[in-house]
Amino acid sequence: MDLSKIRTEDDVKRATLEIPGYTVFDSMVYAATFRIPRGRVSTYGRVARMIGKPKAYRAVAHSLHRNPLFPVVACHRVVKEDGSFGGDAAAAAGRRRNCEEEGVPTAKGKVMMKKELIF
């Protein structure tokens, strides 16, 4: 799959569904995450609400954990409600570094959840 050809949410959905083992739910999660601008973050719960599945925040987290479209779908921009990064310590540290490189302010390993940062 050539990630450089992904330009739109529809491209994200199509690319996801071409990969064996990925579902329509995954394609919706990745398309919603694709919309999060550089330097901003969202939460698993907000992404779940964006796709019309408000109680599916854990499924969103699981789907993003398996994201095959990184860096086009910047899953590091999705954090827990308290601003912390999910997953094991090494992976969480990598996502934190990616966010910091985009200008997202962090303190004590968490995003400083300011209204203007949340997408």
What's the CATH code, domain 3-114? 1.10.10.10
The model's pLDDT over 76-115, given as tens digits with 9 standing for 90+, comes to: 999 999 999 988 899 999 999 999 999 999 999 999 999 9
What are the domain boundaries of the chain? 3-114
* Cα gap 17→100, rounded to integer Å: 31
pLDDT of residue 85: 95
From the list 6, 75, 79, 99, the catalytic residue is 75
Whole-prediction pTM value? 0.94
Catalytic residue list contains 99: no
Closest CA to 108 of 95, 96, 118, 94: 96
The model's pLDDT over 38-87, given as tens digits with 9 standing for 90+, comes to: 999 999 999 999 999 999 999 999 999 999 999 999 999 999 999 999 88
Query: In the chain, what is the greatest distance between 2 CA atoms, to the nearest angstrom?
Result: 39
